[in-house]
Amino acid sequence: MLDARTRAPIPPKPDPAPPLWARVARQAQRLDWPLLLLTVLMVLGGLVVVYSASVPFALSRTDKDPYFFLKRHVLFVALGMVGMLSLAFWDYRKLLRPRWLLPPTLGGLVLLLVLDVRNLVTGEHMRTLLPRGSIQPGEWIKPLLVVYLAAWLTRKRRQFTSPWQLWVHGGTVIGIVVLLLILQPDLSAAGTAGLLGVFMLLLAGMRTVQVLLALAAAGLAAFLGLRVAMWMYPPAAERLSTYIIAWKDPTQVPGHMRQAFFAFIRGGWFGLGPGEARGKIYALPLPHTDSVYAVIGEEWGTVGALVVLLLFVLFLWRGLYLAGRSRDPFARLLLAGMTLWIVLEAFIHMGGMVGLIPQAGNSLPFFSYGGSNLVAALSAVGLMLSAARGGSEPETEVVPHAVVDLRGRDRGRRVPGPGRVPTAP
């Protein structure tokens, strides 16, 4: 049509923007529903376990309302779900920009430093910032370390002319985080953060010689760190001696591990039934947090404990599958790092309960009562959903070429060695 005054063509009216519900529905279709449903299933299982373990604990060992811990756990689940869904529809690529990445990272380090200084001044061994709160900087610093290393490796890796520069720079960041956690002291968080950092550097495409040297250095650092930690924190030496006794003669093992063993023995193959565990009343320390896997073994038996183990194996497979098929190197590192963090936390908790490794005090993600760990884990899943949704798109200009290939086929380039020239993309 022509304008009656100017006789110029009238431009067509732009199509109206789709309503909000239509945009949300379109984005929801692109979510990875297997990962989301698997997470929701574990969270629902955690609600059942926390209810069963926390009510007798509150009645027999505290003066609180019987449903005090359950109500707080429901609140934490709600907060975590809001964080997960919010991050799932958020553009994870913004974390490549320093103005989005540095504030939460520096904030986590500052809070951890404040906690360390307070503990050194007061002589306490607190892991929470508030006496009655559940804000644990040590739980948040681990996923923040994954995010920082993933963004840093994606943006800066091609600037290094030697692979050893990558280890020096990355190792400095990891070392600062581990040192702050040891000073807390939170040895389990320090070990988890150190392993996560090494995994992230290995996923960046290190060669075999570098991997072997890194593992040797990590083993030496772990040995020296353990000796220092045992001197600073006597309970660490007690846990290590208990672990050694468990391997020599399980019938003579004392303390927490002994009660966990008895819980699994009483549970047998199929368990005593929901709510029927006896160890959670007086024997197991913190049955709703540090001992939750033993409560599962007593009430649901070996079969139930294996089902929980299988859920985390499926979570590991799904996370690495999404990382392997992603086109975006930042998304691949983010997916792989968050997956390994959550599964590593779970395996450390379960391994400590059955005596495979020394007890470390790690929570069982999605199943243990808690605020910081649960909200951090659900937020990490939200970032994974965002990375899985956006990682299927072609790479943007702010993202360099491939950094990691989890399936062994190098889509990009490794860090060049000394005297070698990087290949062109």
With a CB cutoff of 8 Å and minimum separation 6, the contacts of 5 are none
Residue 91 DSSP one-character state: -
Q: Helix, strand, or coil here: 85?
A: helix
pLDDT (tens place) for every residue of the chain, 425 residues total: 565 666 667 666 666 767 766 666 776 777 888 999 999 999 999 999 999 988 888 888 777 888 888 999 999 999 999 999 999 988 899 998 888 888 888 888 888 888 888 888 877 777 777 766 667 888 889 999 999 999 988 887 666 666 667 777 777 888 888 888 888 777 778 888 888 888 888 777 666 666 666 667 666 666 666 666 666 666 665 666 665 666 666 666 666 777 888 888 888 888 888 888 888 887 788 888 888 998 999 989 999 999 999 999 999 999 999 998 888 889 999 999 999 999 999 999 998 888 787 777 788 999 998 788 899 999 999 999 999 987 655 444 443 333 444 334 444 444 444 444 444 43
Say which amino acid occupies 134.
S
What is the CB neighbour count within 10 angstroms for residue 225? 17
CA gap 211, 216 in Å, rounded: 9
Q: What is the DSSP letter of 9?
A: B
Counting Cα atoms < 13 Å in the Cβ hemisphere of 171 gives: 12
The pLDDT score that the predictor gives to residue 210 is: 65
Q: Write 246-254 long-range contacts (CB < 8 A, 24+).
A: 246/355, 247/355, 250/355, 253/355
Query: Distances from the Cα of 96 to the Cαs of 159, 167, 183, 292, in angstroms?
Result: 16, 20, 30, 37
**The pair of three-digit structure tokens given for residue 336, joined into one six-digit string:** 């792989």
- Sign of the four-CA dihedral 202, 206, 212, 218: negative
Q: What is the pLDDT of residue 78?
A: 94
Res 123: pLDDT: 73
Determine the residue type at 261.
Answer: F
